[in-house]
């Protein structure tokens, strides 16, 4: 089991929580702002499980539902958080896929709120399924990316 790097000790529960939130936000930001080469390396090393929860919160989807989209159970996520171990290659890859969809949606719609609304609402062009649900497979993810590209270029869907 791969472990997350240990941090120096911090006194106080609030300080620990705040530091964890900052490091999770920093890791999420790194996923959003990295180029493809860096994303490959980050994916191979494994992504921290708290990033799953962070993205689920951004989407306002329960972590219990969101973990299913990346192919893991809530119990596995809880265990990885408790043990401070990173996601495996497949789960990390799927999580990176979702962070890239988030990035593209925020860019397209101009805000987190608008991106969240579009990603989680039923989409007629996807058969009435929300883009976040539809993207649970690689081909579905590519179709969501293509749809956002069509919307960005004013192509009717």
For residue 20, count CB atoms less than 10 angstroms from its CB and return exposed for 0-12, middle for 13-18, buried for 19 or more. middle
Average pLDDT over residues 63-81: 95
Q: Residue 7 pLDDT > 60, yes or no? A: no
Per mean pLDDT, which range of 1-5, 7-11, 65-69, 70-74 is the poorest?
Answer: 7-11
Q: What is the pLDDT of residue 13?
A: 30
Residues 64, 68, 70, 73: what is their CA dihedral angle, to the nearest 10 degrees?
Answer: 70
Q: What is the pLDDT of residue 23?
A: 87
Q: Residue 57 pLDDT > 70, yes or no? A: yes
For residue 22, count CB atoms less than 10 angstroms from its CB and return exposed for 0-12, middle for 13-18, buried for 19 or more. exposed
Q: Residue 5 pLDDT > 80, yes or no? A: no
Query: Does residue 89 contact residue 75 with C-beta atoms inside 8 Å?
Result: no
Q: Residue 92 pLDDT > 90, yes or no? A: yes
Q: What is the pLDDT of residue 51?
A: 96
The rounded mean pLDDT for the chain is 88
User: For 28-38, how does the pLDDT look when each residue is reduced to its tens digit (9 = 90+)?
Assistant: 999 999 999 99
């Amino acid at each position: 089991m791969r472990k997350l790097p240990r941090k120096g000790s911090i006194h106080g529960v609030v300080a620990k929580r705040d530091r964890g939130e900052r490091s999770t936000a920093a890791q999420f930001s790194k996923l959003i702002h990295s180029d493809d080469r860096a994303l490959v390396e980050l994916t191979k090393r494994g992504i921290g499980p708290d990033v799953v929860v962070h993205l689920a919160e951004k989407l306002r989807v329960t972590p219990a539902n969101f973990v299913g989209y990346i192919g893991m159970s809530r119990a596995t996520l809880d265990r990885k958080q408790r043990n401070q171990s990173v996601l495996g290659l497949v789960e990390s890859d799927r999580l990176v896929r979702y962070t890239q969809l988030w990035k593209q949606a925020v860019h397209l719609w101009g805000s987190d709120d608008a991106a969240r609304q579009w990603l989680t609402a039923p989409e007629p062009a996807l058969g009435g399924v929300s883009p976040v649900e539809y993207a649970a497979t690689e081909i579905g993810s590519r179709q969501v990316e293509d749809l956002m590209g069509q919307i960005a270029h004013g192509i009717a869907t």
